[in-house]
Amino acid sequence: MRIGSFELGNRVFVAPMAGVTDRPFRQLCRRLGAGYAVSEMAASNPRLWASEKTMRRLNHDGETAPIAVQLAGADPQMLAEAARFNVARGAQIIDINMGCPAKKVCDVCCGSALLRDEALVARILETVVDAVDAPVTLKLRTGWDPDHRNAVAIARRAERAGIRMLSVHGRTRACGFRGDAEYDTIRAVKQSVSIPVVANGDVDTPRKARQVLDATGADAVMIGRAAQGRPWIFREIDHYLRKGDEFPAPTVAEVRPLLLAHLDDHYRFHGEFAGVRSARKHIIWYTRGLAGGADFCARMNTIETTAEQGRAVDIFLREHGSRHERLQYARPTLH
């Protein structure tokens, strides 16, 4: 599969997730089998570009190509300028966010709120495509609410505007993450355009990935919440799609060096104060299903230094690694 001149490693992608898919996590997912990853959503407002939060989100040092940056905004010219700004700083693909359902994003007419104005969507996409030489892609939902599903119409406008790939989360904005993903709508989108279409929503096992690809005809699948605490899901799915059999779940002994390396990279990237706090969610996702995990996770919220936090994780995983326990705990709740 290709996006512009970039040939991707496989058909299993990392979904952009605010507060989760920072550079350390993206790099880990790529090492564990993801064929493509997109940055966290960054604001197109130039007044925010110099903020520490935005600059960290746009830091791609050492990242594997292609480097993809997701932008959010509602003003065509502002988004175009943000695209130029990012391409000048190393972005190789620009992704436009029209899928985020968060209230604070939709309240300023960004994210999935844009789906209510198809004419504005077309102006945004045309303006950004014209502004940069890099390929431009689009992430969207199936519509604003179940009475206004317009993903097919948006997809057709996007293709005419020059968008090179569509990633479709199979729910409306009003649905949030509730109910089952609408794979029939994703299939209708795929049948309406000739550009690649990526299916997103509720893909949490290798077998489910195969079923979704078959049901939608999509070119790839995109994994979000199911990768939280389980970044090896990408190699599991890729292996299943290529070989047809299950890749064994890792033992704690195998995961321990992965998690410790992830934490080290995370601390270096975020610093002491932010690092110890933002690492908590990753540690909890990794360990909550292990014996004694609930008490250990509660303790994580009381640790205030990266050194102590890393030590505690190491000791906890060493104990479980000696028993060769496998991380086969329940998947994250997806509905």
Per-residue tokens: 236: 């599991």
Last residue of one domain, picked from the residues 179, 209, 243 = 243
Query: Is position 329 within any domain?
Result: no
Q: Are 159 and 296 in a shared domain?
A: no
CATH number where 111 lies: 3.20.20.70
The amino acid at 231:
P
DSSP conformation class of 328 = -
Query: Taking the mean position of all CA atoms in its chain, how far away is CA 154?
Result: 21
Its domain, for residue 270, covers 252-321
Identify whether residues 161 and 308 lie together within a single domain: no
pTM of the model: 0.91
Q: Residue 264 contacts by C-beta under 8 Å, 6 or more apart in sequence?
A: 310
Does residue 335 contact residue 179 with C-beta atoms inside 8 Å?
yes
Phi first, then psi, for residue 122 (nearest 5°) are -60, -40
Give 218-269 pLDDT, tens digit per residue: 999 999 999 999 999 999 999 999 999 998 889 899 999 999 999 999 999 9
Are residue 136 and residue 256 in the same domain, yes or no?
no
Residue 158 DSSP SS3: helix
- Catalytic residue, chosen from 100, 106, 175, 297, is 100
- Asked which of 225, 243, 261 is the last residue of a domain, the reply is 243
Asked if residue 332 is part of any domain, the answer here is no
| Model confidence at 95: pLDDT above 60 | yes
Q: Which residue, 188, 219, 243, sits at the end of a domain? A: 243
Active site (annotated) includes residue 175: no
332: confidence class by pLDDT, cuts 50, 70, 90: very low
* Mean pLDDT of the chain, nearest integer: 91
Q: Would 270 be classed as within a structural domain? A: yes
User: What share of the chain has pLDDT > 90, as a percent?
Assistant: 75
Asked if residue 266 is part of any domain, the answer here is yes
